[in-house]
Each structure stands twice: as C-alpha cells, then as structure tokens.
C-alpha cells in the first residue's frame, strides 16, 4: 500500500513554504506520509489527486479572496473546510463573536459603499490616544498601521491609509490601540483537531511608527505555559466558534488547526480578555519555535489522513 498523500497549499511567493513550516514535509515523511508543496493557484496541478490538502503558507489569498475561496471549494479534501475559511477570511466575523458574548476590541467599520469623504473618515477616528487602521481582509498584518490621534501629521496619514483601502473596495477597521499590549503583548492559544495543544506569547508588534502596506512583519515570540484562566477563555471562544460554524455551514466541523489570539482586557487582570483574532486559514502556528509544536501538528495531520 502506498503512503497517503498530503498536499501543503502555499503561495507562489513561498514555493518551499514559510520558514516557520519548513520542517513540516520531513515530519510528515517520518509518519509515512508523502508531502507535496503546491501553490494554491497552480493551474497545472490536479487537486483531485492531491490527497488531503492542508492550507498553510497562502499569504497572498487576501489579494483575491474570492478566487481563493472558489479554489478551496473545488478541492475534494481540504483542511480547514472551505466554508469555514470563507467566513474567517473577512474580519467582520468579529461582529458575530461580539454578538455571541465574546469581548472584542471596539471597532469602527468603514465600508466602501458608504462613499465617505475625507472629513467623514476623519470624524470616525478616535479623538485621543493611538489607534490602528487595517483592512478587514488581509493576511500577515498587511495593510496595518498604528497612528496617534492628536498628531496632525499622523492623523493625516491615517486618513490617506483608510481612503486608499476604501478606494480598492476594501472594508476598513479602526480600532483603539490597547496600551496594555505594550506591557503584556498578546497570547496565542493553538488547538489541533479540537484539542488544546500549546501556547505562545507575542511581544508588541505595532510600535508607534509601525506601517505595513504590503510586507509581513516579523514577530518576537516565546514559548510558555498557559495559565488556567487562558485555557478556560480559549475553550469559551472555541465553543462559541463551533456554534457559529454550525450556524453558517449547517453542521459542525472538526478544525485541523485553530489559533485564538487574546490580550488581557485590563492591566493586571488575569481572568478577562479581548479576542483579537481567530486564525483558521494561514495564521502562523509557530512550528519552528519548539520541536514539539511541529510534531504535534504533524501528528494531527496524520490522524486526518486516516479518516
């Protein structure tokens, strides 16, 4: 009997996967799985012969999300499910998390169809403090900027940033920058096949002059044990998420991977968090940070090839 095939979907910009995932093919071979690495939009690859398709380094999907989702829906065996990725590709999903009772960072949404003037964009920014402008559909922090409300030059740059995204037909998110992120950073909780697996801490990324128009920014990440309160919060998020998945797809789906990003809601409070983001498409799983992360993910994939 031949080894099962797993095709790791990547982008043409990353033909050998992201550096964080470079060890994954060898880890799969050790589990008697034949790995293939193929750009998701490669017209010459037969996706009907792809085995289980695991979506990973598709950092370019935000450039044409409709084409990406159309491709995903054409693939017979893809993880995570295409309908789930369609939902997760647009950060308007944060509204649904909030409606379901999960605290999220307060967000002002600017929509292309509103045809906002420069003055109207200006009035939708915070009056004080720092804030973040980013498109609702993006990958790897592309199109994200941090600005200062009381600095006229910074505010003008933020207006131009928002107008640029809106002119491209993209919804824009405006969020107040949480100052306690500078002290605590963010926490990512990783679930594999529905089970709590590991946790990493991320240092603050958006320094006051941060701009990321088209480049993915490097994160400073460390491994540490999750507090019980964090896993409890992660389970709460996971339960809400699966309820929304059932609502959107008509049935529950076992997610191969699920990364939940949280940040303390207030300095010194270890029990209350904001949900920053849920990553079900190409968010980093920090596989190169610790060998156990790579092995756990490879094991999770191996389980799914046996189904």
pLDDT digits (tens, 9 = 90+) for 76-130: 999 999 999 999 999 999 999 999 999 999 999 999 999 999 999 999 999 999 9
Cα(302)–Cα(31) distance, rounded to whole angstroms? 7
The SS3 assignment for 230 reads helix
Q: Provide the H-helix boundaries in 203-281.
A: 228-249
Mean pLDDT to the nearest integer, 11-40: 97
Q: Provide the H-helix boundaries in the chain.
A: 24-30, 65-74, 82-88, 93-99, 118-123, 152-167, 181-184, 228-249, 291-305
Q: Which of 203, 208, 178, 209 is nearest to 188 (CA)?
A: 203
pTM of full prediction above 0.75: yes
Residue 149 corresponds to which tokens in the numbers above? 């409300």
Cα(222)–Cα(291) distance, rounded to whole angstroms? 13
Question: Does 107-176 match 89-104+179-286 at the fold level?
Answer: no
The mean pLDDT of the chain is 90
Residue 94 corresponds to which tokens in the numbers above? 């944060």
The strands making up 221-223's β-sheet, listed across from edge to edge, are 221-223, 195-202, 186-192, 257-264, 273-279
Share of the chain above pLDDT 90, in %: 75
Fold of 107-176: Dna Ligase; domain 1 (3.30.1490)
Cα(47)–Cα(74) distance, rounded to whole angstroms? 8
Q: Where are the domains of the chain?
A: 5-80, 89-104+179-286, 107-176
Pick the CATH number of 89-104+179-286 from 3.30.470.20, 3.40.630.10, 3.40.980.10, 1.20.58.100: 3.30.470.20
């Amino acid at each position: 009997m031949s080894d099962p095939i797993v095709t790791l979907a990547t982008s043409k910009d990353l033909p050998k996967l992201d550096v964080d995932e470079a060890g994954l093919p060898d880890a799969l071979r050790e589990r008697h799985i034949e790995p293939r690495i193929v750009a998701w939009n490669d017209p010459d690859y037969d996706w009907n012969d792809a085995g289980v398709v695991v979506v990973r380094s598709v950092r370019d999907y935000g450039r044409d999300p409709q084409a990406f989702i159309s491709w995903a829906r054409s693939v017979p065996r893809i993880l995570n499910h295409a309908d789930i990725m369609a939902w997760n590709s647009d950060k308007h999903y944060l509204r649904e998390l909030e409606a379901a009772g999960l605290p999220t960072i307060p967000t002002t949404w600017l929509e292309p169809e509103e045809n906002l003037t420069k003055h109207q964009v200006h009035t939708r920014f915070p009056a004080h403090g720092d804030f973040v402008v980013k498109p609702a559909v993006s990958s790897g922090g592309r199109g994200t900027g941090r600005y200062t409300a009381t600095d006229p030059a910074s505010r003008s740059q933020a207006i131009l940033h928002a107008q640029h995204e809106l002119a491209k037909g993209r919804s824009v998110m405006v969020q107040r920058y949480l100052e306690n992120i500078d002290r605590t950073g963010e926490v990512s909780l990783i679930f594999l096949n529905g089970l709590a697996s590991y946790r990493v801490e991320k240092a603050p990324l958006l320094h006051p002059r941060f701009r990321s128009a088209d480049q993915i920014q490097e994160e400073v990440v460390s491994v540490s044990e999750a507090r019980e309160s964090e896993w409890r919060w992660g389970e709460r998020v996971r339960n809400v998420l699966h309820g929304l998945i059932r609502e959107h797809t008509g049935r529950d789906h076992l997610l191969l991977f699920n990364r939940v990003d949280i940040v303390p809601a207030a300095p010194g409070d270890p029990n209350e968090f904001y949900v920053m983001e849920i990553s079900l498409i190409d968010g980093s799983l920090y596989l190169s940070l610790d060998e156990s992360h790579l092995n756990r993910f490879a094991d999770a994939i191996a389980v799914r090839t046996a189904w």
